[in-house]
Every structure is written in C-alpha cells, then in structure tokens.
Amino acid sequence: MKIILKIILFPLSLTLSVFKYVLLFILNIGTRILSLISMLVAVGALASFINGETELGITAIMLALLFSPYGLPLIASKIIIGIEAVNLKIKNI
C-alpha cells in the first residue's frame, strides 16, 4: 500500500522540486534587482532628509527596508522553505 502511494505521489514531488528550483532562480535575480532599487531609494531618502522633507524621507526609508534583502526576498525565501518542507513530507511517506 505504501509503495502504491509513493508511486502516485511521485509526479507531485517531482513537480514541487522543479517549481522550487525555478522559484530559487527567480528569487536570486529578483533579490539582486531589489537590492539595487533599495540602495537608490535609500540615497533618495538621505537627499529628502537633507532637503528637510522628513515625511518623504521616512516613507523612502520604509520602502528601502521593504526592498532590501530583509524585506520581500526574505518573505519569498520563507515561502520556498515551506514548499520544500511539503515536498520532504511527501517524500517521507
């Protein structure tokens, strides 16, 4: 019975593995692009603070943090870790 279940779940496991690697590739490229955007927004925030526009500067700092590797890319990596956890549970059946 266990072998039949493994045979049935093999395509799902294979699909999840391929999906994980595609997402990792996209995440790698996206993280690099978002890091560059984060750096530019942080420079813009610094310029806003120098010009005395503190509200705009605070908004820009928040956006820079969101675009940094500790913002959106971290959330995406947690989702990929969750997909891998589901895949490992399927493989351990």
Give me the pLDDT at residue 89, please. Answer: 95
> Mind listing the pLDDT tens digit of every residue in the chain (93 residues)?
888 988 999 999 999 999 999 999 999 999 999 999 999 999 999 999 999 999 999 999 999 999 998 999 999 999 999 999 999 999 998
Give me the pLDDT at residue 43, please. Answer: 96
Task: Name the token pair of 7.
Answer: 């045979």
**Which residues form the domain of 48?**
2-91
Number of domains in the chain: 1
SS3 47: helix
CA distance 60 to 46: 9
| Enclosing H/E stretch for 82 | helix 72-91
SS3 35: helix
